[in-house]
């Protein structure tokens, strides 16, 4: 199933869901964040972003953009150990919507012990308390949402921080593409649309495996995690052309391959060599009579393309939840593992 940018319309029958209302306003969240004032920020050319889940994803999206637009790397840490190069001259941006993510709190304390310049982006919780008590810089995000439903706020504030620090121009880029993101969102939820439903139906009885080209890794991650958390459904992700060197063997030779459904997030603006590699992989899958979904996207920069794919994936995850008769915000079982509480937000809390 080849789903290009050819004027398809989408329809989502889950507009009454709390999560739908949160992901539907992603462009407006970005806009509100970009228009909000920031406190004075510490300046540094070495930046480390710490987060988990949707909080880290905001960093991944900016990192994808920075890789192709700036001379400074934007490093994202999903865990508790900071890189060895983080020191007193480094800026550590600690992102946790809830403010209670254990890994992020540990990373925050490690950054403080190294004397790093700390910026906290959070809606509250323990992180905000530690930030204020340690005289770190606080960026306060509106509360009352699911972490994954506040992604627009996290991305907007993070982009504005990095631009003010002269690391990359992500905030200006976001401002330019906002009209296109709103247009894309409105097209996806228009009354005569079918694409979201079509994709969700194809994924309903398969395990989704989401692939993107290497410059759009974050959109594949978002698809995976939104399907995991909203649809309560297992999913995996990867990237091309790395796919060509290992996973293609499993797809073409494993008798269990029809249990899975590959979804290719295809950048129509990629170089000819990259598109040739992606096309070859798709042809090999089709030669094996494997069904797949290929979604083609265009845009002025990879930030726009990533976010268009993310908006589509968010709606697909909600439609898939609807088909599976599951509530996207329903609590899952809470377990104690080694004294740590694991919740439905996949956050490890103190």
The domains of the chain, with CATH numbers, are 2-15+178-323 (3.40.50.10490), 18-176 (3.40.50.10490)
Contacts of residue 121, defined as CB under 8 A and 6 or more positions apart, other chains included, come to 55, 93, 94, 95, 96, 139, 141, 154, 157, 158, 161
| Cα 325 to Cα 160, 241, 311, 318, distances in angstroms | 38, 36, 21, 10
Compute the distance between CA of residue 251 and CA of residue 282 in angstroms, rounded to an integer. Answer: 11
Residue 6 confidence (pLDDT): 39
Quickly count: other Cβ atoms within 10 Å of residue 337's Cβ. 8
Residue 10 confidence (pLDDT): 42
CB-based contact 124:99 (threshold 8 Å): yes
3-state secondary structure of 297: strand
Contacts of residue 245, defined as CB under 8 A and 6 or more positions apart, other chains included, come to none
Residue 314 confidence (pLDDT): 97
Residue 2 confidence (pLDDT): 53
Residue 71 confidence (pLDDT): 66
Compute the distance between CA of residue 170 and CA of residue 285 in angstroms, rounded to an integer. Answer: 36
**Facing residues of 76 across strands?**
49
CA 233 to chain centre: 17
95's tokens? 């992102």
**Facing residues of 49 across strands?**
76, 93
| Cα 23 to Cα 19, 230, 241, distances in angstroms | 6, 11, 30
Residue 311 confidence (pLDDT): 97
Residue 237 confidence (pLDDT): 95
- What is the C-alpha radius of gyration for the chain, rounded to an integer number of angstroms? 20
CB-based contact 111:89 (threshold 8 Å): no
| Positions of the chain with pLDDT lower than 70, given as ranges | 1-16, 71, 331-350
For the question of whether the overall pTM of this predicted structure is more than 0.85, the answer is yes
CB-based contact 208:227 (threshold 8 Å): yes
């Amino acid at each position: 199933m080849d789903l290009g940018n050819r004027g398809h319309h989408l329809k989502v029958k889950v507009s009454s869901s709390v999560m739908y209302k949160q992901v539907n306003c992603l462009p407006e969240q970005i806009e509100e964040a970009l228009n909000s004032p920031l406190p004075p920020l510490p300046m540094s050319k070495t930046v480390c972003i710490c987060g988990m889940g949707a909080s880290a994803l905001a960093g991944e999206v900016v990192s994808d953009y920075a890789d192709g637009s700036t001379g400074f790397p934007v490093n994202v840490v999903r865990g508790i150990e900071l890189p060895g190069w983080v020191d007193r001259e480094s800026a550590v941006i600690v992102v946790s919507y809830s403010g209670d993510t254990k890994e992020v709190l540990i990373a925050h304390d490690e950054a403080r012990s190294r004397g790093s310049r700390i910026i906290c982006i959070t809606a509250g919780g323990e992180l905000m308390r530690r930030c204020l008590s340690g005289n770190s810089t606080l960026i306060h995000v509106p509360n009352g949402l699911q972490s994954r439903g506040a992604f627009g706020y996290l991305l907007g504030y993070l982009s504005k921080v990095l631009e003010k620090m002269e690391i990359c121009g992500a905030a200006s880029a976001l401002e330019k593409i906002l009209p296109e993101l709103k247009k894309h969102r409105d097209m996806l939820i228009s009354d005569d649309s079918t694409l979201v439903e079509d994709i969700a139906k194809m994924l309903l009885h398969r395990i989704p495996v989401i692939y993107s080209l290497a410059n759009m890794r974050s959109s594949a991650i978002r698809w995976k995690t939104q399907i995991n958390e909203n649809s309560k459904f297992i999913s995996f992700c990867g990237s091309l052309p790395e796919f060509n060197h290992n996973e293609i063997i499993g797809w073409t030779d494993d008798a269990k391959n029809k249990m899975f459904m590959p979804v290719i997030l295809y950048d129509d603006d990629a170089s000819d060599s990259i598109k040739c590699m992606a096309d070859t992989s798709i042809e090999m899958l089709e030669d094996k009579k494997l069904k797949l979904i290929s979604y083609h996207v265009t845009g002025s920069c990879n930030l726009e393309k990533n976010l268009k794919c993310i908006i589509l994936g968010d709606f697909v995850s909600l439609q898939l939840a609807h088909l599976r008769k599951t509530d996207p915000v329903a609590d899952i079982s809470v377990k104690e593992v080694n004294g740590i509480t694991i919740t439905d937000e996949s956050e490890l809390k103190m």
